[in-house]
């Protein structure tokens, strides 16, 4: 009987308090199922929310943590599926990626990019799709356009900078401090400013008064209101995170006089409602673009699952250089 070593929780709460490393037996492999060996899995802010019980969609307890990762197919329960032994696939979020092995239904599997490095493939499900759709689904951006974003040092923020740079789109990037400026400029950032009350004025000076078509908000609070000031008439503020956990002031003036739009985006909802062919098409477009443009998500460190407490502590540190991953 195949076993898995997994980070599991029987209740919701602080990950350091509710997670335990367990070895459990996996169910017997059935037809139309696959036995996976997990190779790598990132630690995302959403993982803390899901374990903590504050995420938009919670797992049925007891659960294995981890929303994304990449795995290799070790065995198939039957022949004739669209997959093959040895193929790399994404770990379904419903199964949990913070474990060494898993048995999953083949219909829930999607191929992972074979040409990207392992760590990049492991981070391919959430952030690249988020960045791509934020930039393509809410406005028809063209070379020379401007977009503004807060949390520019986040994984999504850095992906947006790289994608925009290759498309000729200028980014105004708001950060907590300017220490990250050289690294962001190296990725192709246009303007980098401290996210404070003076950011909007400084941004308009840097762009000679030209405003943005879209603003990407993953912070919330006063930062979101500040970005509304930078939107052109009919522009759109897209909220896909709320890291400061503070309510955003309602931008009454800009809704009335500038006709701005307020939208939300959650990539998990898109995946849950999109047709399989649409997901495959998006992945093909995004991963081909990443490969050709040499776009990468920074990796700060990798840890074995046994060092999960150190890994989670590292992932929670502000100012880290990139993503923290479990590597099996």
Check 55, 254, 271, 303 and give the catalytic one: 55
Which one, of 233, 173, 228, lies nearest residue 203 by Cα? 173
What is the C-alpha to C-alpha distance for residues 304 and 325, in angstroms, rounded to an integer? 9
Q: Where are the beta strands (DSSP E) in the chain?
A: 3-9, 19-25, 33-43, 63-64, 70-76, 88-90, 101-105, 146-149, 170-175, 191-194, 212-217, 231-239, 261-264, 299-303, 323-327
Got the DSSP string for 155-187? HHHHHHHHHHHHHT-EEEEEESSGGGHHHHHHH
293: DSSP letter: H
| 3-class DSSP state of 319 | coil
Cβ neighbors of 40 (< 8 A, separation 6 or more) are 69, 70, 118, 119, 121, 122, 302, 325, 326, 327, 328
Radius of gyration, alpha carbons of the chain: 20
The token pair that represents 122 in the structure block: 């492991």
Burial class (CB in 10 A: 0-12, 13-18, 19+), 2: middle
Q: Is 271 in the active site? A: no
Cβ of 22: how many Cβ atoms within 10 Å? 16
What is the C-alpha to C-alpha distance for residues 258 and 55, in angstroms, rounded to an integer? 33
Query: Could you give the residue numbers annotated as active site?
Result: 55
């Amino acid at each position: 009987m195949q076993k898995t070593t997994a980070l599991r929780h029987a209740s919701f709460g602080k990950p350091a308090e509710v997670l335990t490393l367990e070895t459990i037996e996996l169910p017997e492999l059935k037809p139309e199922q696959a036995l996976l060996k997990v190779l790598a899995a990132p630690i995302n802010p959403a993982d803390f929310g899901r374990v903590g019980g504050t995420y938009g969609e919670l797992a049925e307890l007891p659960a294995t943590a981890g929303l994304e990762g990449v795995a290799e197919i070790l065995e198939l329960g039957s022949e004739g599926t669209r997959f093959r032994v040895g193929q790399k696939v994404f770990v379904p979020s419903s199964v949990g990626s913070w474990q060494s092995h898993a048995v999953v239904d083949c219909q829930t599997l999607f191929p992972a990019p074979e040409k990207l490095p392992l760590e990049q493939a492991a981070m391919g499900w959430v952030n690249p799709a988020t960045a791509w759709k934020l930039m393509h689904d809410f406005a028809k951006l063209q070379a020379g356009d401007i977009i503004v974003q807060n949390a520019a040092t986040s994984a999504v923020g850095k992906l947006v900078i790289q994608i925009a740079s290759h498309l000729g789109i200028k980014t105004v990037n708001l950060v907590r401090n300017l220490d990250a400026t050289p690294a962001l400029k190296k990725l192709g950032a246009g303007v980098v400013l401290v996210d404070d009350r003076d950011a909007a004025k400084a941004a308009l000076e840097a762009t000679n008064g030209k405003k943005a078509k879209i603003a990407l908000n993953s912070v919330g609070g006063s930062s979101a209101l500040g970005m509304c000031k930078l939107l052109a008439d009919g522009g759109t503020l897209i909220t896909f995170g709320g890291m400061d956990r503070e309510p955003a002031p309602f931008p009454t003036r800009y809704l009335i006089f500038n006709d701005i739009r307020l939208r939300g985006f959650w990539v998990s909802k898109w995946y849950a409602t999109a047709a399989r062919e649409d997901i495959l098409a998006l992945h093909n477009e995004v991963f081909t673009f990443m490969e050709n443009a040499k776009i990468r998500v920074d990796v700060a460190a990798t840890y074995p699952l046994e060092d999960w407490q150190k890994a989670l502590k590292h992932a929670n540190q502000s100012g880290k250089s990139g993503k923290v991953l479990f590597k099996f």
